[in-house]
Amino acid sequence: MEYVSMPGLPFPASRVALGTWAIGGWLWGGTDAADAIRTIHAALDLGVNLVDTAPVYGFGRAEELVGEALAASGRRDRVLVATKCGLDWTRGALRRDASPARIAREVEDSLRRLRVDVIDLYQVHWPDAGVPLDETGRALEGLARAGKIRAIGVSNFTAAQVERFRATAPVATVQPPYNLFERGIDAELLPYCRKEGIATLAYGALCRGLLSGRMAPGTTFQGDDLRRGDPKFRPPRFAQYLAAVAALDALARDRFGRTVLELAVRWLLDQPGVSVALWGARRPSQLDPVPRVFGWRLDDAARARVDQIVREHVTDPVGPEFMAPPDSA
């Protein structure tokens, strides 16, 4: 495992963090509590000490499972707990709400569900155009002064939004979507974070499973699985992405003796400015490859070949924009 120091946190964080969106069940076809808890414990056993969650992941369920797992493990003092605020689902539909009143309620609910006295990293889940950024920033600053949170982060913000937010509150971390196929932050956000010394937590490291190497042309998704609405998983794009994955897997095996999954996460960790890759899992076996991400790096020739493969096969790329919830305004 590799570790990295981040502003405001009491000890260095593992460069692979456990992402718990899927553990919450919502938009991932449900969840199994026993499997979820075993998965969290397996991550800790592998040296993962940063667990990232959010109230909206299962509408509180993921936070509850994280809290239960940490209490059972007896390792709370060695784990960094990150969660989020600013999304409301109480009116029957998901919408952004980063108002101070909403945040004041959310933090208490999160503390209770997580069974902790302080949240190590508290992140605004999405920027809310209906609430001035300075109001949201002051609310989080107040929580830090009150000792309810240690560090402040933002998620899904542009560089310009981060800059405006920082006029009111310090930003320790930024959490954007980023992977081999979704590189929108390369243009502005990632260079900005490098320049300003802001840690970057990249989510979607495996592009919602595309880069796992376990999908085939006949793969289908059931129920509320968010990939049913993801343009990447619909024809003709799905075939393009699968072809790219096959070529990347061949490169990983021939050049490094690794799988495409391990290549994808190593590529992410090797990107200048990326501090942490979020690894989503809901079964312990999905964490088995974690150790094989470390102890090697991509050379310049391999990185160039990765870029060439993506350009050659994905002729109609699309980003993760479909996931954005509506504003409160």
Q: Which residues are identified as catalytic?
A: 57
Between CA 67 and CA 36 the distance in angstroms is 11
Q: In 10 A of CB 187, how many CB atoms? A: 10
Distance from the Cα of residue 248 to its chain's centroid: 22
Which DSSP string do the residues of 94-128 spell out, in sequence order? -EE---HHHHHHHHHHHHHHHT-SSEEEEEESS--
Q: How many CA atoms lie within 13 A of 119 on its CB side?
A: 33
What's the start-to-end Cα distance of the chain, in Å? 43
Please report, as a single letter, which amino acid is at residue 17: A
Q: What is the sign, positive or negative, of the torsion defined by CA atoms of 258, 23, 278, 1? A: negative
Q: In 10 A of CB 250, how many CB atoms? A: 12
Q: In 10 A of CB 272, how many CB atoms? A: 8
Between CA 277 and CA 266 the distance in angstroms is 9
